[in-house]
Amino acid sequence: MLIVGGGIAAYKALELIRQLRAKGASVRCILTAGGAEFVTALSLSSLSGDKVYGDLFNLTDEAEMGHIELSRDADLLVVAPATANLLAKMTSGIADDLATTALLATDKPVLCAPAMNVRMWLHPATQRNVRALRADGVSFVGPDEGDMACGEFGPGRLAEPPAIVEAIGEMLAAGDKARPLAGTRVLVTSGPTHEPIDPVRYLANRSSGKQGHAIAAACARAGAEVVLISGPVALPDPQGVLTIHVETAREMLTATEEALPADVAIFAAAVADWRPDREGDAKIKKTQGAATPDLSLTENPDILATIGARKKARPKLVIGFAAETNDVVANATAKRTRKGADWILANDVSPASGVMGGDLNTIHLVTADGVEDWPRMGKDAVADELAQRIADAIGDRRTAGAVKA
Ligand code: CTP
């Protein structure tokens, strides 16, 4: 997304677009009112091959792509030329036109290429704004020093297009490294399921959902599009994750199947293996002297095994957990084959381990290649490690055509 501010250097934005497109980038422009005094929307549109946006309150534009979406659809926002006025507004969070609104609403990195008169650049107000913006994570390229259109000499010239293109390339490469799961769709199940006995009672597994929710959040931080299917938990929905709330195993299976296709599916939920075979409409009453209710159970679908066995739309990487109280690795190894999973993260959930409801976890990663023992670490660290492993495997798949199991 290229935001063209109002300065004489706006003409260089045209060459910048040309060079970016020559490198295979797609460029969409926002032209400020000031910028439109120096270059036309038609020139930007001809070179970018895309529509040019300018008006915050344009009904047609808003219906096609809202201004919030516009700012998030890009990988990077580039302000060139970034005028003293634009920098000041960005510093204060003023959003009084489409450009400044997009800059305030974006969740993407921002690169500014300042261009202004030397006195304006050196003014303490501008220098203070640049320091504040840098502290906010905004990057800068230039300005260069030299003769200026206004007849003065000094720093304030817009960086040359090749230097801006290079800075953009570096920022995009750094972004790819920080978001190794970008472009990947990940599905995660988490929490327990509740299987109703009657309208007020249920059967459930012990599960806080901490590990599954941490995995969903870690994958989202790594750039994945994440769908989290959660049983009843006392945790907030993780940021940047589409969370679907379910109660029972059967609802969890339906929601999982509806969320496909996905590149990766991680089954961290503690699904109740059985449910009462008849859910009464009325509360079972405790009558003095009467026999205790006879709960007969029926087996729930195994979500992991169902997805693992799919022929159509099976995720490339199917990852299960194995909650074991004894013979952890042996049981997990058998479970991997039985459930058709690529990887199993086995953990000891015996009462002595403190894993259930706690913040720490000791994982044994079981794959087709063998078993890897991870050190005891926080559930957030397990989640980050798993996200990185998934990114490595997906990366290998992209280059080698198969997932490294
Ligand atoms: N799982 C599932 N659906 C079920 C039961 C389990 O998707 N109905 C998934 C869990 O999310 C986990 C894995 O299967 O990823 C293993 O769960 P675990 O409770 O360890 O295994 P069980 O199937 O209960 O096997 P067992 O009772 O023999 O330990």
> What is the DSSP code string of 145-182?
EEE-TTS-EEEEEPPPHHHHHHHHHHHHHHHHHH-TTT
State in Å: Cα 378 to ligand 1 middle. Answer: 22
- Report the separation in Å between the CA atom of 212 and the middle of ligand 1, taken as the mean of its atom positions: 14
139 CA from centroid of ligand 1 (Å): 47
Quick check: CB of 249 below 6 Å from ligand 1?
yes
Domain ranges for the chain: 2-177, 185-276+294-404
Q: Which atom of ligand 1 is nearest to the CA of 303?
A: 7
**Does the domain at residues 185-276+294-404 carry the CATH identifier 3.40.50.10300?**
yes
Which residue type does 306 have?
A: T
Q: Is the CB of 345 under 6 A from ligand 1?
A: no
Fold match, 2-177 / 185-276+294-404: yes
| Contact status, residue 263 vs residue 273, Cβ threshold 8 Å | no
What fold, for 2-177? Rossmann fold (3.40.50)
CA angle centred on 195, ends 291 and 293, rounded to 5°: 5
Which residue, chain included where needed, has tokens 């109740």? 272
When comparing pLDDT for 23 and 353, which is higher?
23
Task: Find the mean pLDDT for residues 25-54.
Answer: 95
Nearest ligand 1 atom, CA 322: 20
Tell me, using a 6 A CB cutoff, whether residue 321 lines ligand 1. yes
Which atom in ligand 1 lies closest to the alpha carbon of residue 272?
8
**Overall size of the chain counted in residues:** 405
**What percentage of residues in the chain have a pLDDT greater than 70?**
95
Q: What is the dihedral of CA 131, 133, 135, 138, to 10 degrees?
A: -130
For 89, the 3-state DSSP assignment is: helix
- How confident is the model over 279-287, as a mean pLDDT? 84
pLDDT band at 396 (very low <50, low <70, confident <90, very high): low
Question: Comparing 113-117, 318-322, 391-395, which segment has the lowest mean pLDDT?
Answer: 391-395
Given a cut of 50, whether residue 160 has pLDDT beyond it is yes
Residues 92 and 330: their CA atoms lie apart, in Å, by 59
At residue 280, the pLDDT reads: 76
- Average model confidence (pLDDT) for the chain? 91
**Cα–Cα distance, 382 to 404 (Å, whole number):** 19
Output the pLDDT for position 398: 47
State the distance between the two ends of the chain, measured CA to CA, in whole angstroms: 38
d(CA 180, CA 388): 7
Q: For the residues 381-395, what does the mean pLDDT come to?
A: 94
Q: Are 100 and 127 in contact (CB under 8 A)?
A: no
Is 209 near ligand 1, meaning CB less than 6 Å away? no
Ligand 1: atom nearest CA of 307 is 7
302 lines ligand 1 (CB under 6 A): yes
pTM of model > 0.75 = no
Say whether pLDDT at 113 is over 90: yes
**What confidence category does residue 64 fall into, taking pLDDT thresholds of 50, 70 and 90?**
low
Cβ-proximal residues to 143 (8 Å cutoff; 6+ apart), any chain: 113, 114, 115, 116, 121, 155, 156, 157, 158, 159
The residue nearest atom 16 of ligand 1, judged by CA position, is: 322
Quick check: is 112 catalytic? Answer: no
Separation of 213 CA from ligand 1 center, angstroms?
17
Which of 252, 304, 338, 344 has the most ligand 1 atoms within 8 A of CB, as the residue to mutate?
304
Q: Given ligand 1 and candidates 206, 321, 329, which is best to mutate, with the most ligand atoms within 8 Å of its CB?
A: 321
Mean pLDDT, residues 98-119: 94
From 211, 256, 335, 364, the mutation candidate for ligand 1 (largest count of ligand atoms within 8 A of CB) is 335
Ligand 1 atom closest to the Cα of residue 344 is 15
Nearest CA to ligand 1 atom 4: 302
Higher pLDDT among residues 281 and 229, named by residue: 229
Half-sphere exposure of 378 (CA within 13 A, CB side): 5
